[in-house]
Chain A
Amino acid sequence: MLHAEHLTKRYGRRPALTDCTLTIPAGRVIGLVGPNGAGKSTLLQLACGLITPTSGTLEVLGSRPASTAAHLARVGFVAQDTPVYASFTVADHLRMGARLNPSWDQALAERRIAQVGLQPAQRAGRLSGGQRAQLALTVAAAKRPELLILDEPAAALDPLARDGFMRNLREFVAELGASAVLSSHLLDDVERVCDHLVVLSGSRVQVAGDVPDLLAGHHRLLVPRDQLDRLPAGVEVIHVEHADRDSRVLVRAEGGLPPTPWPTEPVRLEEMVLGYLTRAADPTAARAAVPAGEVRR
């Protein structure tokens, strides 16, 4: 569905996305997580064709993003801060959608507007952040896209509205039968609705995969501190956390963890993501963890 190769975007000399190679399968809800400034918006704007890459290639649904009007029709996009026309009414937005999209589903749009409690005659400029997000999502969804891209759709919402929005989103995407890519800096959001995860930090992809596969491929080992250098080959250390006697080591082991003498624990998604983000924030930490542990003692 989405295939990027060495995708790079720079604004002037500042890299926003660096050498991103990524394949995302169709038919899922994909979560894109990472701290602010990680490159999430850049990746999503590239995916919907709003910006063009500095180098590398990107294919969405088999062709360059926004290459033709027909391709635009297949991708729905809700931008960060969910822009709408302040002077337009809710009904005007639906009318715009109907005029500009050949595959527009007016019944779906009206049903959804009613469902989330919007009045057709309301001016979009007077809507609350949550209502605006719902309106923007409705316009993007009622064109019946094959892929729905949502850039921090819940960022402007209070916790309660956010909860409702995300719960609603999952059902709605299922009802549409579309794939969806959703970015958030809150892992909570993503954990709830996504079944495929891409972790982005420091303009690079840290890890990507189906959530069950990711959970199966990561383990936590409780390793005595003096045996940190005896980790089996074929495991990658993501994060080390030192306790009194033992160190808790987050490792990735593709294709199963080799037998180790130490106790292992399954990893929760949140811990795994945090491990990657911590490593990305300080790239020397994980690699240096083993010898550094010795020195610090």
Chain B
Amino acid sequence: MIWLSWRQFRTQALVGVGALAVLAAYLLHLGLRIRDSRAGYLARCQPQGDCAQAMAQFVGEYQNTLLILAGLLGLVPGILGMFWGAPLVARELEAGTHRLVWNQSVSRRRWLATRLLFVALAAAAVAGLASLLLTWAASPVDTAADDRFSTVVFGARNITPIGYALFAVTLGTVLGLVVRRTLPAMALTVLAFTVVQFGMPNLIRPHLMPPATVTRPMTADAINQVRGLGSITGAAVVRGVTVPDAWVTYTSELRTSDGRALDAGRFDDCLMSPPKTGATGTFGDTARCLGDLDLHVDLAYQPEHRYWPFQWLESAIYLGLSVLLGGFGLWRIRRRVT
């Protein structure tokens, strides 16, 4: 069965190894360049004794490239699910070759279990290697930027991509088994996987562990440090309030001292026509105006020391989903197919 799994997977495996080799060469090159660059920045700033600004520049230089790479790595499991998972059973059913192979002296369940395990492990290896290389290449930037808990970066480092790849391939295989046609199965795999990948960081990951909470007074100074004010809905909100060494998962609207949401009209007044005081800072008079209202926001956050528990938890969830899906596939192939 292992020979057959390999023989049928050979071409796809070669394509995968080829693509991985190209990616690996690039990541090695990038990782070395990032290290050179960091050494250069440090060499220039250390004589002056303050490297904060130099490190910010260093992060700025590579942040976009690394975000794109993280996005790319985020696509890898989906692609593997689509091209390795979905055709695994669907192509056999389409070509009719299941009638050949299911009448060899191997039960259907063993056939599916072996083939699925073979391809899923290969996908896990590809995703794991890609993640390992990217984690290594990006580590100086990640350390300096202190944002490895953020949504995109978290899913493209360390072990989570392995869980994603296992899940995507199992999902593709089972969808192929149910849909019985290769192309629709491929399309459905990408669609379903995207939905899951969108829902996980936004809906589930923030609640994997009960978040810590903190109340942050919104003084004029504090407001000048946020990324933005207001939203397209006109609500009285601030964006980009940070907690040191933590992933902020929830930011409440601006609240007055009695705990109620700031009236949108008063917020607009401060935004549009604040009293002229000549205040400086990012938001100037607006920050001063809001600061005078004695406002605060309530934050929920996951502290940095939970990073590894979160990596393991999320990987375990994907592994569990894969096992459930695989179990369903094994049940289904015995009972319902053809």
Minimum Cβ distance to chain B for residue A39 (Å): 16
CB-CB under 8 A for A95 and B105, given A79-B99, A79-B100: no
Are B95 and A83 in contact (CB-based, < 8 A)?
yes
Asked, given contacts A84-B97, A95-B3, whether A77 binds B103 with beta carbons under 8 Å apart, the answer is yes
Chain B, interface residues (CB within 8 Å), range: 20 to 34
Pick the interface stretch among A25-33, A135-143, A256-264, A272-280: A135-143
B100 and A143 contacting across the interface, CB-CB below 8 Å: no
Is A96 in contact with B103, judged by CB distance below 8 angstroms?
no
**With an 8 A cutoff between CB atoms, is A73 at the interface?**
yes
In the bound complex, what is the Cα–Cα distance between A139 and B338 (angstroms)? 22
| C-alpha gap A92/B10 in the complex (Å) | 13
A72 touches B96 (CB 8 A): no
Report the separation of the CA atoms of residues A136 and B338 in the bound assembly, to the nearest whole angstrom: 20
B96 lies within 8 A of A96 (CB): no
Residues of chain A in range 37-53 having any CB-CB distance to chain B below 8 Å: 45, 48, 50-52
* Contact among B95, B104, B107, B110 for A96, CB-based, below 8 A: B104
Contact check, A72 vs B100: say whether CB atoms are below 8 A apart. Answer: no
> What does DSSP make chain B's interface, helix, strand, loop or mixed?
helix
Q: Does B4 contact A (CB under 8 A)?
A: yes
Interface range for A = 35 or more
The answer to whether A72 touches B104, judged by C-beta atoms less than 8 angstroms apart, is yes
Given contacts A79-B96, A83-B97, whether A92 and B7 have CB atoms under 8 Å apart is yes
CB distance from B164 to the nearest CB of A (A): 29
Interface: A115 (CB within 8 A): no
- Cβ-based interface call for A284 (8 A): no
Residues of A within 8 A of B100 (CB): 79, 83-85, 136, 139
Nearest B residue (CB) for A67:
B107
**CA–CA, A143 to B105, complex, Å?**
8
Interchain CB contact (< 8 A) of A75 among B1, B11, B103, B108: B103
Tell me, rounded to whole Å, the shortest Cβ–Cβ distance linking A248 to chain B.
43
Q: 1/0 per position for A142-169, CB-CB distance to B under 8 A?
A: 0100000000000000000000000000
Tell whether A121 is near chain B: CB-to-CB under 8 Å.
no
Can you give 15 contacting A-B residue pairs, CB < 8 Å?
A45-B99, A50-B99, A50-B102, A50-B103, A50-B338, A52-B335, A69-B105, A70-B105, A72-B106, A84-B97, A84-B100, A86-B95, A96-B4, A100-B105, A101-B105
Which residues of A are in contact with B by a Cβ distance under 8 Å? 45, 48, 50-52, 66, 68-70, 72-73, 75-77, 79, 81, 83-88, 92, 95-97, 99-103, 136, 139-140, 143
Given contacts A77-B99, A100-B106, 4 further A-B contacts (CB under 8 A): A45-B99, A52-B335, A88-B7, A100-B4
